[in-house]
Amino acid sequence: QVQLVESGGGLVQPGGSLRLSCAASGNVFSINAMGWYRQAPGKERELVASITSGRNTNYADSVKGRFTISSAKNMVYLQISSLKPEDTAVYYCNYRGLSALGVVIAQYWGQGTQVTVSS
């Protein structure tokens, strides 16, 4: 099992910034991918950004240029800037343990952290 603990959400004005953090602990994998998803009310959960243990990153088109994902040992961060009201959602940390061939062996989710963008 891998446990994920997120932090950093909150209320921010449009145009503001936030930094989300997620710490992974437990039986972590040497090859992995960590990322952030979000789910707004009435919408499906969507990928925001992901990063592999090899530092390859992937972003949703809607956040390119505004969000930056980074990682350290068993940690993943999401720097969010130029926030818009439509960024309001619960943000979930995601962890995928991978085989040497990139096959997902296990997947875990954090409990979610609320980001609200409002004036």
> For the segment 87-116, what is each residue's pLDDT rounded down to a tens digit?
999 999 999 999 999 899 999 999 999 999
Q: Are strands 46-52 and 32-39 parallel, antiparallel or unpaired?
A: antiparallel
Interatomic CA distance for residues 63 and 90, integer angstroms: 15
> Partners of 79 in the beta sheet?
19, 68
Helix (H, G, I), strand (E, B) or coil at 112: coil
Q: What is the mean pLDDT of residues 39-57?
A: 94
Interatomic CA distance for residues 93 and 86, integer angstroms: 19
pLDDT of residue 53: 87
Q: Which amino acid is at 75?
A: M
